[in-house]
Amino acid sequence: MNITDKIYQNRKLETWVENKTSHTLNSAEMHIFETHQTEKNFLLKFRHPVLATMFEGKKVMHLRGMDSFDFLPGESLILPANELMTVDFPEASLDTPTKCLAMTISEEMIRKTIDDMNERRAKIDGEWEFKDYNFHFTNDMAIQQIIERLLFLFTENHRSKDIFADFMLRELVIRILQAETRSQLVNDSKSLATNNRLAFIVDYIRQNLDKNLTIKELSNKAYMSESHFYRVFKNELNLSPIDFINNERIKLATELLRDPKKQIKEIYMECGFNSPSYFNRIFKRVELISPSEYKMRFMKE
């Protein structure tokens, strides 16, 4: 993600560690941080819920109740208000500064968006809410594009930019809610399966990737009509059932391709694809390279 010169037009370099450039709108503040030297145990917190996104370099994050983890470009982190972060900067230098964005969003905006989702797009089991505010994830294309659009809006000289930004912020909150729900259903599908119909379906899909899975079969297992099942699944996971199945099959394929004893012609069948051409097409769409290129690259590495 490129940060334009316009972002830095009023920038002052006052410190080598987490030097801040800020822009403010009615419902959010955007802070761009730069660090120009290695540092350990830097403390930071915000008075409002914050979305942190990495642009360049690497941080090591230490958060309450979590193991330490690397925070890398293309990744984001949601934190509640007044959450204390302890941050290491192992690779920052004058030539290669670490850069990140921290966008604070008003709690009123977040709460109103969640209330609207529960009223208009309710979950089938449970309610929309941030289950784990310390949610660390890789940006999908939609979230990445919203962040880039907000970078532009914060510095645009337009009398209606607060209105534009409010629409974008609401969409951002919704997409992050869906991303967190998808993460929970995938990572905890077994433990949630007894009380959550979608978790049961996710677990069933992952246990039967080699079989011919249909919307009709899955909707029957969820005790829903096909059309209702499709709407509920896409509402909560922000993916159609078919796209989810294909993504899970490609995850399995990437694991199998690392086995030097396995041939591609047997891998696509183990993953539930009914033709090598369809397997190649879906694999390339997800991984951006062909299965044979992936296997060759992994073997070289």
234 in a domain, yes or no? yes
Paired tokens of 77: 């982190």
Average pLDDT estimate for 67-86: 94
**Residue 13 pLDDT grade (very low, low, confident, very high; cuts 50, 70, 90):** low
Domain boundary among 163, 184, 205: 184
Query: What region does 65 belong to: left with phi over 0, alpha with psi -120 to 50, or beta?
Result: left
Domain check: are 255 and 118 in the same one? no
Instruction: Tell me whether residue 191 is in a domain.
Output: no
Task: Kindly tell me if the per-residue pLDDT of 132 is higher than 70.
Answer: no
Q: Are residues 26 and 155 located together in one domain of the fold?
A: yes
Angle between helices 141-155 and 161-187 (to 10 degrees): 160
Which domain does 132 fall in, by range?
A: 5-184
Q: Is-contact 45 38, C-beta < 8 A? A: no
| Residue 99 forms part of a structural domain | yes
Same domain membership, residue 273 and residue 238? yes
CATH (domain of 274): 1.10.10.60
DSSP code for 5: G
- Do 71 and 38 belong to one domain? yes
- Looking at the structure, tell me whether residues 172 and 47 fall in a common domain: yes
Whether the CB-CB separation of 204 and 221 falls below 8 Å is answered with yes
Confidence of residue 278 (pLDDT cuts 50, 70, 90): very high
For 140-162, give one letter per residue: b (16+ CB within 10 A) or e.
eeebeebbeebbebbbeeeeebe
Structural domain ending residue among the three candidates 149, 184, 219? 184
pLDDT of residue 66: 87
Q: For residues 293 and 233, state if they share a domain.
A: yes
Shared-domain flag, residues 45 and 179:
yes
- Structural domain contains residue 49: yes
Verify that 59 and 32 share a domain, yes or no. yes
Q: Are residues 158 and 253 in the same domain?
A: no
How far is Cα 3 from Cα 101, in angstroms, rounded to an integer?
Answer: 10
Determine the Cα–Cα distance for residues 248 and 283; give it in Å rounded to an integer: 11
**Quick one: which of 231, 85, 75, 185 has its CA closest to 140?**
75
Residue 288 lies inside a defined structural domain of this protein? yes
Please say whether the beta carbons of 66 and 77 come within 8 A.
no
Q: Say if residue 7's pLDDT is above 70.
A: no
**Contact (CB, 8 A) for 113 and 106:** no
Is it the case that residue 279 has pLDDT exceeding 70?
A: yes
Q: How confident is the model at residue 126 (pLDDT cuts 50, 70, 90)?
A: confident
Residue where a domain stops, chosen among 151, 184, 217: 184
Domain harbouring 38, CATH code = 2.60.120.280
- Cα–Cα distance list, 279 to 183, 241, 274, 290 (Å): 24, 17, 8, 9
Task: Give the position of tokens 């540092």.
Answer: 39
**What is the predicted pLDDT for the residue at 98?**
96
Confidence of residue 250 (pLDDT cuts 50, 70, 90): very high
Residue 8 in this model has a pLDDT that exceeds 80: no
Q: What angle do CA 149, 167, 18 make, to 5 degrees?
A: 50
Distances from the Cα of 86 to the Cαs of 42, 73, 178, 185, in angstroms?
5, 18, 27, 29
Q: Is 175 a domain residue?
A: yes
Residue 215 counted as domain residue: yes
E strand spans, the chain: 19-24, 28-35, 39-44, 50-56, 59-62, 69-71, 75-79, 85-89, 98-105, 135-138
The total of structural domains in the chain comes to: 2
Does residue 57 sit in the same domain as residue 174? yes
Please check whether residue 231 lies inside any domain of the structure: yes
- When the pLDDT of each residue in the chain is averaged and rounded to a whole number, the result is 91
Phi, psi at residue 89, to the nearest 5°? Answer: -120, 85
Confidence check: pLDDT of 267 > 90 = yes
Characterize the bridge pairing of strands 85-89 and 98-105: unpaired
46 plus 176 within the same structural domain: yes
Residue 1 has pLDDT above 70, yes or no: no
pLDDT tier at 228 (50, 70, 90 boundaries)?
very high
* Domain shared by 12 and 137, yes or no: yes
